[in-house]
């Protein structure tokens, strides 16, 4: 018996889909466990169970052919592939082990007090007196990660303005190479990429920080010295835009969900839940591709070997088969098990950094702000992989 394979004439990188991806993601989920997307000669998995299974099954779904649309077996990557995101075991093992240690919860303990103090200082700066209206994206969501993360890595002060456009382009580049967002970014990319590459060198990095820790691991032989700069590059690519958009997502969710800010004020121990629930609800990283290494069964169908499969984290994170009332941002739910950070051996190695940034900023805001609400219409920033806000006007009452 041959199951009929659902096929959707859907472009996941269409600007209208990027602006509001929820209907397309629902259509992908509803169509079946595996969907054919002829537009790019690819496939999609959007239900939670199958997304979770595909992400954990690195043996069947490889990453070294690239986690964007371009297949590195046949096409050319726009930059040397990541040693983490775009690698499989055994090549993936050593860089992952090193970075997991450098960014691990225990390594972050010594940053906790400093980051909370930094967050309090930032909040004091944006809230000089009483109630204010401001755009929360530049003033808070971008300002705080840019204040603490480059210092934690050990970057020079000069040139940090390259970080966000570099990350934005890197995440756009997982989409089609002739896509308008990619084409728009290509012109300025050599300048951004050149700056980022220079920051990865040991001489440019501060003597203490995540960057120095990575080079020290190379000195201990846990990485080669040739690998060290590329591992630092992974921090700079994946560690900035994502946290900015994650913090933007939780601020937006708290501003538009009645009672949420008051509940957090009463129960500040829920700030970690709030951030992870926002990562589930918004999925700042929407999807990555995998490539099948053999014929792989999904549901009743089979993806042939060598095919690109879009694994839609965002759709899984709102799959009603897994989550009760999935479209609700709900501080009383347990968001554990969401795939907003991915899952399996490639699960976001910086997730603890992201959580600590969000926890620090929210804690500082909760201490001063009695109410958080929208003060205007928020505006989306479009990216082929990321879901994010360009502008988020809010009123902070204190």
Query: What is the closest distance, in whole angstroms, from the C-beta atom of residue 317 to another protein in the complex?
Result: 13
Compare residues 61 and 144 and give the one whose CB is closer to another protein.
Answer: 61
Of residues 330-389, those binding another protein (CB under 8 A):
334-337, 341, 343-345, 347, 351-352
Q: Does 134 bind another protein (CB under 8 A)?
A: no
CA–CA dist 18, 314 (Å, integer) = 12
First-last CA distance in the chain? 65
Contact predicate 61/346, CB 8 Å: no
Residues 224-263: x where in contact with another protein by CB under 8 A, - otherwise, as a string:
x--x------------------------------------
Q: Does 93 bind another protein (CB under 8 A)?
A: yes
Query: What is the closest distance, in whole angstroms, from the C-beta atom of residue 227 to another protein in the complex?
Result: 7
Segment interacting with another protein (CB under 8 A) among 99-107, 133-141, 282-290, 295-303? 99-107
| Cα within 13 Å of Cα(309), Cβ side | 32
Picking from 57, 88, 21, the residue whose alpha carbon sits closest to that of residue 343 is 57
Compare residues 93 and 325 and give the one whose CB is closer to another protein.
Answer: 93
Concatenated DSSP letters for 153-206?
Answer: HT--STTGGGHHHHHHHHHHTTS-TTSHHHHHHHTTHHHHHHHHHHHTSTTTS-
Segment interacting with another protein (CB under 8 A) among 68-76, 83-91, 174-182, 243-251? 83-91
Query: What is the closest distance, in whole angstroms, from the C-beta atom of residue 33 to another protein in the complex?
Result: 18
Compare residues 100 and 212 and give the one whose CB is closer to another protein.
Answer: 100
Query: What is the closest distance, in whole angstroms, from the C-beta atom of residue 125 to another protein in the complex?
Result: 30
Of residues 184-223, those binding another protein (CB under 8 A):
221-223
Q: Does 59 bind another protein (CB under 8 A)?
A: yes
Q: Which residues lie closer than 8 Å to 129 by C-beta, 6 or more apart?
A: none
CA–CA dist 184, 190 (Å, integer) = 13
Contacts 24+ apart (CB under 8 A), 363-367: 363/116, 363/119, 363/268, 363/271, 364/116, 364/119, 364/120, 364/122, 364/123, 365/119, 365/123, 365/140, 365/396, 366/264, 366/265, 366/268, 366/271, 367/120, 367/123
User: Among 203, 269, 324, 377, which residue interacts with another protein (rule: CB under 8 A)?
Assistant: 269
Q: Does 94 bind another protein (CB under 8 A)?
A: yes
Site residues for another protein per CB under 8 A: 56-59, 89-91, 93-94, 97, 104-106, 221-224, 227, 269-270, 272-273, 276, 334-337, 341, 343-345, 347, 351-352
């Amino acid at each position: 018996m041959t199951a009929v394979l659902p096929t959707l004439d859907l472009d996941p990188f269409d600007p209208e889909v990027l602006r509001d991806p929820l209907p397309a993601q629902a259509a992908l989920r509803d169509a079946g466990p595996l969907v054919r997307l002829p537009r790019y000669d690819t496939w999609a998995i959007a239900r939670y169970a199958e997304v979770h299974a595909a992400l954990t099954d690195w043996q069947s779904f490889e990453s070294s052919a690239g986690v964007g649309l371009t297949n590195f077996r046949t096409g050319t990557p726009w930059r040397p592939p990541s040693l983490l995101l775009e690698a499989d075991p055994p090549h993936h093992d050593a860089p992952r082990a090193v970075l997991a240690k450098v960014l691990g919860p225990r390594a972050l303990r010594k940053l906790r007090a400093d980051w909370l103090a930094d967050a309090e200082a930032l909040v004091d700066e944006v809230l000089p007196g009483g109630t204010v209206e401001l755009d929360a994206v530049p003033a808070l969501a971008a300002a705080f990660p840019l204040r603490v993360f480059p210092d934690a890595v050990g970057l020079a002060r000069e040139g940090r303005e390259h970080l966000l456009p570099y990350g934005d382009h890197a995440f756009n580049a997982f989409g089609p190479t002739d896509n308008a967002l990619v084409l728009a970014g290509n012109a300025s990319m050599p300048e951004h990429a050149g700056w980022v590459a220079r920051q990865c060198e040991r001489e440019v990095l501060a003597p203490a920080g995540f960057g120095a820790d990575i080079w020290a691991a190379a000195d201990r032989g846990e990485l080669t010295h040739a690998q060290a700069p590329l591992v630092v590059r992974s921090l700079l690519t994946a560690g900035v835009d994502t946290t900015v958009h994650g913090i933007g997502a939780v601020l937006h969710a708290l501003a538009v969900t009645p009672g949420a800010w008051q509940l957090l004020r009463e129960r500040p121990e829920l700030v970690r839940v709030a951030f992870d629930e926002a990562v589930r609800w918004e999925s700042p990283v929407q999807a990555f591709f995998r490539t099948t290494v053999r014929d792989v069964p999904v549901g009743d169908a089979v993806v042939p070997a060598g095919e690109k499969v879009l694994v839609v984290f965002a759709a899984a994170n709102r799959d009603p088969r897994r989550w009760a009332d999935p479209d609700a941002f709900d501080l009383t739910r347990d968001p554990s098990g969401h795939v907003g950070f991915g899952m399996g051996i490639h699960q976001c190695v910086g997730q603890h950094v992201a959580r600590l940034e969000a926890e620090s900023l929210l804690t500082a805001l909760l201490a001063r702000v009695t109410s958080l609400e929208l003060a205007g219409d928020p505006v989306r920033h479009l990216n082929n992989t990321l879901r994010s806000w360009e502008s988020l006007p809010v009123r902070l009452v204190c």
